[in-house]
Structure formats: structure tokens, C-alpha cells
Amino acid sequence: MRFDKAKIFDGKLLLGYVSKVTQNYVLLNTPNYYQLSHYHYNGEDYHGGLLYSYVFIEGDNYGFLGQISEIEFLEKERREVTNESFDAEPYTYDSKKDLELNPKVKVALLLAFDNITFKPKRISVHFPNVGARVFLASERYVGEFLKGLFQKESGSTGNNSKKYKIGHILGKERTDIEIALDKLFYRHCAIVGTTGSGKSWTAAKLIELLIMEGKKVIVLDPTGEYSKAFKDIQKNVQILEIGKNAVIDYHNFTYEDLFFLAEPSQGIQVPILIDAVNDLKIVGYLKQNTALKKDYEDFISKDNLLVKQKKSKEKYFQLKEMYESYDSSDTLENVDITNLPKQIENECVIDRGDKFGDKDTKLLGYCLAMILRLKSVVESSAFKTIFVSGKNQQRVGEDKQAENSDVLNTIQNFIQSDKPENLIINLKSVVSEFQFKEIAVEVIGRKIFEIARNLLSDNKNGIYIFLDEAHNFLKRESENETRRYKYKAFELIAKELRKKNVSLVIITQRPSDIPDGVLSQFGTFIIHNLTNPNDIEKIRNVVERSDMALGLLPYLDVGEAVISSVNLPLVLPVKFYEPECKPKIFEN
């Protein structure tokens, strides 16, 4: 559509004149209230007296698009507002009466545009002048200004990307919003809103479009609602359900993962736990080195534990030094985690100077709570079906003859593959007991980070990671204030992988629980209904200021949202279209 300045600033659509200018809004006075009434002109309906009506403001070099946010009669004029006044026909008013009824209108400034090219831009240093004329905006022109805002600018990479309709301007059903996906996800994306506000359908709509465009998508699905949603639109959607047809090899755990399981205290238990892990790693090392094992047989018990009691300290530290020169990693590689509770007991020995003494019952008492917790963890049926040694995998689920998929190996193959595959990791069967679900997501996130950081050198097509229920996995700090450990894999993905063309999309109902350092990395926010004051305040602190649009948040209906993006010159209220592939909440 070709813009016509004369039609944009049409005198017959004059609403009033700017009387006050601020950074976020302008005030204007109208000659009389008739200009706020409903009328039909040039094939369109106009109503300047309705909130959220769009207006154009005339400037010297730039024009401005605004939206009415407040209308009132001045205090001195309110006594003139009577039934008789509004029942009369316009032409029966005398000039004096017209001047007395002079409504004041507040207009939120949305964007500026060049008066010659009509190219939109953010309002930064250019503002309307006092006295500037204000006109009601044609819905057709508003639509043309707004619907292409997500499209790539000419000359930029990917300008030929296909545009997709995701919804329409809120209150403007005929004004579609079209997006180029690479622009929407340019700097990560956060989808937030209360339960039932439409977050899942919005996420499904975006996943659906990415799959249709041949992008690589990983969905971490804690509740299983996406597990069968996308099978109909693409065959190469691989679904892994941890605890049913897939497992995680616990040898990929780090010490911090183990700390979440064991919950050691900082004083005595942490160093004892680390020593126990290291000693089990030494046992695994000796089992692989037959010649070396003969020299240290007295340190290894029949049940593959390292025994220090009444053994030479010098010989032990020689063995420890040899192992550390071989492997100094902080993972549980070569550790049989089922032996860990007993190994902690073996660490509780008296120091006799040149040798280890008998068992230290006092030290053992300090570690007893940690030992009992770890014993409960590793002996639980949930642990045995979710976290399985890669060297001793057992099939879980109904088909015990089928091969179990290792989630972490699958992720590595997925990232390395050039095929436009899609991977949904269903964590519905992973219980929250002992923080199993949080640990599983952390281990998966760390694997994605490590592989993407090390292997993706020229990833032009991009990888898109969707993390549902993100507030459970991006906590600001541990719930136990005595611990300093935190989940950080997805924080690292958000901070470091954008340059690798990896986009993170988080979906959460509690943005106030997401760390500030993580939210600051996001360039696009899709904000559905929010009612919690803390959540609303958190969003106000991270998105572009627009009190008018953000004021809508508690009143948005299902599927309605406000979009704020570094690639948009304004904060935009949108009604999202329903996805073809609808997620089913808590699907059986």
C-alpha cells in the first residue's frame, strides 16, 4: 500500500491540537466534543471518543502514531455536561457553548515515521511540537504501519524469509500481524502469563511455524502437553519420554548436580562427599589398569569401595596424585553412584599422622543425615528408571526388548546433524522428588550448551530451544539458603549462545522468579495476562516503557498478549491465532 501524506493528515479527520508534550505521551485539546463522536468518512468508521483509538500527529520532518489513553472534560466544563447539551443537534450550538465544552485527550506515543519515506522508528529524540495537529487514523493505514513491523529490513540477512501471520492487532480484527521468524527470535524470547492465559498455544504456534520453516527445534516439556502435538505436520519429530523410552546417564552429573541430590552442609559434609566421589573414581581407574591395581589391592574392598582404615597415607596420596594427573574432571565418570553412601562411611576415619586410623564415629555422626538421604535417592525406583548408568542400562517401560535411548547422546547427534529435525523431550514421568526433574533439565541444558558452544562454528539455520515452566529451572537461588549452588545451564545458554545462532524461548507463569541477569538477555517478550504485582513490576523493569500497553496486562483475555521486542519500535497488543497443532495439558 502506498502512503499518501494528504490522506494521513486529512483536515476532515482533525481531532485537536497538542497542548503538552512528554517523553511518553502528549495532551491535546479538541475544539469541541463533536470531534470525539462516531461518524463515517471515506468508507471507514471513526470514533475519537473511544479509548485505544489510533491517531496521527503531524510534525515537521517526522509524523507520529499514537493511541488515545485517557479522555476527560476539564473541571470548569463539567457543569456544562448535561443531557440537554448532548441531546441537541451539532448545528444548534452557538460558538460560546462550543468553546466551553473542550475535552482534554491524553495520547500515548507509539512510534515516529519519516514524513517522506514513512519508515517507522522508535521515538528517541524527535517529538511532536506544542500546537501540532492531531488526526484520527485510518484503520487501513494503521494496519500497514503495524503489520510489517516484524519483517526484516531491506538489505539485512534473511530478507527473503517467509512471513507468517501469527495474529491481529488487538481490537483491529482486519489488521494481521506478519512476522519473519528470525527477527522475532533474534535475541531470545520470553512467553509469560498466568495459568490459562494462552502461553502454551502461543508457544505451540511458534514451534509449529519453526517446524514448517525447516528449523531445528528442541522442546523441554515438563508436563507432557507437547508430546503428541506436532506429529501431523512433520514426520521427523522425535519424542523421548524420560523414564519410559529414554534415560539420562548419571555419569554426566557434576559435583553440583550431586550436591542437589545429597544436600550437604557447607562445613563438614561437602569435603567428605567430594572425597568419597574422588575415591570411587580412583576405584574405577584401578579396575581399568590391571597392572596398577596389583600394587594397590589392599585399598579396594570386595564390593568395589576404597578402604582407608589403617592404610598408609603416603601410599594413598601417591595413588590420588596419579589419578588426578589422569583425570581432573568434576563429573561422575567411572563412579558407581550406588556405592556412594557406603564410601562416605569409609571416609570417616581418624587421622593418625602417617596413616589412617580406625573409624571416626563422631565424624560419621555428622554425615549420617547425608548418608541416609543419598541411600534413599539411589535406592528409589524413580532414580533407577530415570538416571541409569550408560554401562548398565536397563530397559524401562512396557517394551523391555526395545533399546533405551540415552537423552544426552541423542542431543549430541541432533545438534551435529544437518537435517531439519525436531526433538521433544517429555519429562512428565520424571518426579519432582529429590529435585529429579530440576536436575534432569539442568543436565540436559548443560549438554546442549557444551555441544553447541564447541561444535557450532557456522550454524546459519539456527537451533531453537523451548523451555516450559522455566521458573522451576531458572531459580534466582537455591531454596536452601545454606547452599550456594544454583541451576545455571540455561543462564549460560542465554548469555553465550546467541552468537552461535542458538535461540532460547522460555515459557513461565512467574517472571518474578527468573533471575534479572537472565531476563536482561531477552530481546522479545510476549506477555499474556498477568495479575501478580511482583510479576507485573518485573516485566515493567525489563521491557521498553509503555505504561498504556502494560496497563492492559491484568485485563487481557485468553490468547491476547502484549509484544515488546528490540526489533519493534513500539509495544504492540496482539490477539494470537490458534495453532493447528494444539498442546494437550497433562495428556495421558
The per-residue pLDDT for range 426-443, each reduced to its tens digit, is: 999 999 888 899 999 999
Going by pLDDT thresholds of 50, 70 and 90, the confidence category of residue 510 is very high
Over residues 151-185, the pLDDT tens digits come to 554 334 444 567 888 888 887 787 788 888 877 88
Which position has the higher pLDDT, 330 or 424?
424
Partner residues linked to 527 by β-bridges: 192, 562
Distance CA 142, CA 56 (A): 9
H runs (alpha helix) in 333-406: 340-347, 361-379, 381-386
- pLDDT of res. 85: 53
- Provide the greatest CA pair distance for the chain: 113
CA 423/CA 408 separation, integer angstroms: 12
Of residues 290 and 77, which shows the higher confidence score?
290
For the segment 358-367, the average pLDDT, to the nearest whole number, is 94
Higher-confidence residue of 548 and 408: namely 408
Q: Which residues pair with 393 in a beta bridge?
A: none
Phi-psi map region of 488: left, alpha, beta (phi>0 left; psi -120 to 50 alpha): alpha
263 sits in the region (left: phi over 0; alpha: psi -120 to 50; else beta) called left
For the segment 180-200, the average pLDDT, to the nearest whole number, is 89
Asked if residues 179 and 196 have their Cβ atoms less than 8 Å apart, the reply is: no
Cβ atoms within 10 A of the Cβ of 186, count? 17
CB 444 within 8 A of CB 408: yes
3-state SS string over 55-99?
EEECCCCEEEEEEEEEEECCHHHHHHCCHHHHHCCHHHCCHHHHH
- pLDDT of residue 498 exceeding 60, the answer is yes
User: Which range is most confident: 233-242, 386-395, 477-486?
Assistant: 233-242
Listed range (146-155, 222-231, 261-270, 295-304) with the worst mean pLDDT? 146-155
- Mention every residue, 6+ apart, whose C-beta is less than 8 A from residue 10: 42, 135
- Gap between the Cα atoms of 266 and 313, Å rounded: 25
Q: How far apart are the C-alpha atoms of 392 and 267, rounded to whole Å?
A: 35
- pLDDT at position 149 is 66
How far is residue 468 from each of residues 25, 199, 527, measured CA to CA in Å?
36, 10, 15
For residues 312 and 50, what is the distance between their CA atoms, to the nearest angstrom? Answer: 87
Q: Which residues contact 185 (CB under 8 A, 6 or more apart)?
A: 462, 464, 503, 505, 524
Supply 575's cell numbers: 490477539
- Could you tell me which of 325, 331, 286 has the C-alpha nearest to residue 304? 286
Contact (Cβ atoms closer than 8 angstroms) between residue 471 and residue 510: yes
Closest CA to 119 of 165, 177, 61: 61
Residue 19 has pLDDT above 90, yes or no: yes
Residue 36 has pLDDT above 70, yes or no: yes
pLDDT, the chain, mean: 83
Q: Per-residue pLDDT averaged across 494-523, rounded?
A: 90
> pTM higher than 0.75, yes or no?
yes
Q: What's the half-sphere exposure (Cβ side, CA atoms, 13 Å) at 380?
A: 18
- Mean pLDDT to the nearest integer, 323-343: 89
